[in-house]
């Protein structure tokens, strides 16, 4: 990825290179935003809403989103459901195995802040931002599929604004 | 066997060693001495009339003053159900493992050990089960347990 990341810098040296670099940014971010493949990561009830979003009524596919059961080809992880302290290292491992650039959506109260298990619970992680960086938070218990779609649109907007140089 | 007959049978058979607790539950609940636990379990398991072949559950309890370990048992063949419990002080709380009678006790006992810190004698594999392997914050089901990120429900 080093070369791609430095491409705009190389191009700047040529006359008109700036335009090429900007167009390249545009093409890449558009295509990236329109073909998000997400990693299946559902641990509790929110995952049911996630499944509903993927099914025919809400039809995730129209965003070009299909799920992958492997972190290697996924660029988004939707953490849907309660993340316990025992589960947290697995989430981190999957995140680390994903190719960059990668994004995280925290779906549901549990994932965002511990949800109904915030009080009196020793086992539930109080927010997955302790474990992985989160791009979009979706509140609700559980959030409706519409909320998840809205969250995905928000993420798409975010991706479209990105430049190649921002890739980390 | 109905509740009255079952209660009478057990109280007669283990006279002086087992005591009936008035709980108002549908099934009788007995209390017994810690030392008598294994012998009692063996006996109800091998007794023809009772034939307790199924250990439903083992639960730890922290009452705020002492620990209890509650055993729920049943006989599939005779359609009997009852509970019994052992009570112990906070210090050096431990019970004998009942795995030799009901092997299914293994996981339940690990849970009791892990969440309440009640030691299980002769368990053989007392390793973490519900909590992360590197857990070092004590026993979360104890009444006085606390951890940096533990939030108690505010009094309403
Ligand atoms: S936020 Fe609510 S619906 Fe979602 S996993 Fe937690 S408890 Fe279940």
pLDDT at position A105 is 94
pLDDT at position A167 is 64
Q: Which of residues A3 and B152 earns the better pLDDT score?
A: B152
Torsion sign over Cα A100, A114, B61, B134: positive
Q: For B4-32, how does the pLDDT look when each residue is reduced to its tens digit (9 = 90+)?
A: 888 999 999 988 888 898 888 888 999 99
pLDDT at position B106 is 92
> What is the band of A138 on the pLDDT scale with cuts at 50, 70, 90?
very high
How, if at all, do strands A37-39 and A66-68 pair?
A: parallel
Q: Model pTM?
A: 0.80
How, if at all, do strands A37-39 and A76-80 pair?
A: parallel
Q: Mean of the pLDDT values across residues B79-86?
A: 92
Q: For A88-116, how does the pLDDT look when each residue is reduced to its tens digit (9 = 90+)?
A: 999 999 999 998 889 999 999 999 998 89
Helix H or strand E segment including B113: helix B105-116
pLDDT at position B118 is 92
> What is the band of B71 on the pLDDT scale with cuts at 50, 70, 90?
very high
Q: What is the mean pLDDT of chain A?
A: 87
Which candidate from A86, A120, A126 shows the least CB-CB separation from B152? Answer: A120
Q: Say if B131 is an interface residue toward chain A (CB within 8 Å).
A: yes
pLDDT more than 70, % of chain A: 95
> What is the band of A1 on the pLDDT scale with cuts at 50, 70, 90?
low
CB pairs under 8 A between A and B: 26
Q: Say if B21 is an interface residue toward chain A (CB within 8 Å).
A: no
Q: Per the structure block, which two tokens stand in for B77? A: 């063949």
Q: What is the mean pLDDT of chain B?
A: 90
Work out the minimum CA distance from B57 to partner chain A, whole angstroms.
21
Which candidate from B147, B153, B154 shows the least CB-CB separation from A122? Answer: B147
| Residues of chain A with C-beta less than 8 angstroms from the C-beta of B140 | 122-123
A153 lines ligand 1 (CB under 6 A): no
Each residue of A54-68: b (16+ CB within 10 Å) or e?
beeebebeebebebb
pLDDT at position A106 is 94
Q: Mean of the pLDDT values across residues B129-139?
A: 87
Nearest to A65 by CA among A165, A131, A162, A151: A151
pLDDT at position A6 is 74
Q: How far apart are CA A107 and CA B7, in angstroms?
A: 52
């Amino acid at each position: 990825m080093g070369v791609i990341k430095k491409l705009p810098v190389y191009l700047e040296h040529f006359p008109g290179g700036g335009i090429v670099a900007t167009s390249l940014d545009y093409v890449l971010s558009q295509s990236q935003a329109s073909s998000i493949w997400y990693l299946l990561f559902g641990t509790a009830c929110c995952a049911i809403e996630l499944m509903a979003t993927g099914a025919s009524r809400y039809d995730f596919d129209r965003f070009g989103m299909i799920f992958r059961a492997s972190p290697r080809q996924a660029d988004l992880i939707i953490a849907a459901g309660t993340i316990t302290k025992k589960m947290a290292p697995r989430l981190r491992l999957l995140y680390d195995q994903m190719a960059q650039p990668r994004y995280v959506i925290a779906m549901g109260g549990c994932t965002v802040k511990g949800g109904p298990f915030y009080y009196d619970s020793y086992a539930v992680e109080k927010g997955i931002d302790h474990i992985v960086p989160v791009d979009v938070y979706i509140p609700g218990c559980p959030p409706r599929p519409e909320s998840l779609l809205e969250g995905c649109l928000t993420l798409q907007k975010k991706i479209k604004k990105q430049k190649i140089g921002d890739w980390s | 066997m109905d509740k009255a007959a079952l209660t009478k049978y057990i109280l007669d058979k283990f006279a002086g060693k087992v005591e009936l607790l008035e709980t108002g539950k549908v099934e009788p609940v007995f209390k017994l001495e810690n030392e008598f636990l294994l012998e009692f379990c063996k006996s109800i398991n091998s007794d023809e009339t009772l034939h307790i072949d199924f250990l439903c559950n083992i639960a730890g309890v922290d009452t705020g003053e002492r620990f209890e370990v509650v055993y729920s048992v049943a006989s599939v063949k005779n359609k009997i159900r009852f509970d019994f419990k052992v009570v112990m002080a906070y210090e050096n709380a431990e019970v004998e493992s009942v795995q030799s009678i009901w092997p299914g006790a293994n996981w339940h006992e690990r849970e009791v050990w892990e969440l309440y810190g009640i030691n299980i004698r002769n368990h053989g594999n007392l390793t973490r089960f519900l909590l992360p392997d590197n857990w070092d914050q004590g026993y979360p089901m104890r009444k006085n347990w606390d951890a940096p990120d533990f939030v108690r429900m505010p009094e309403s």
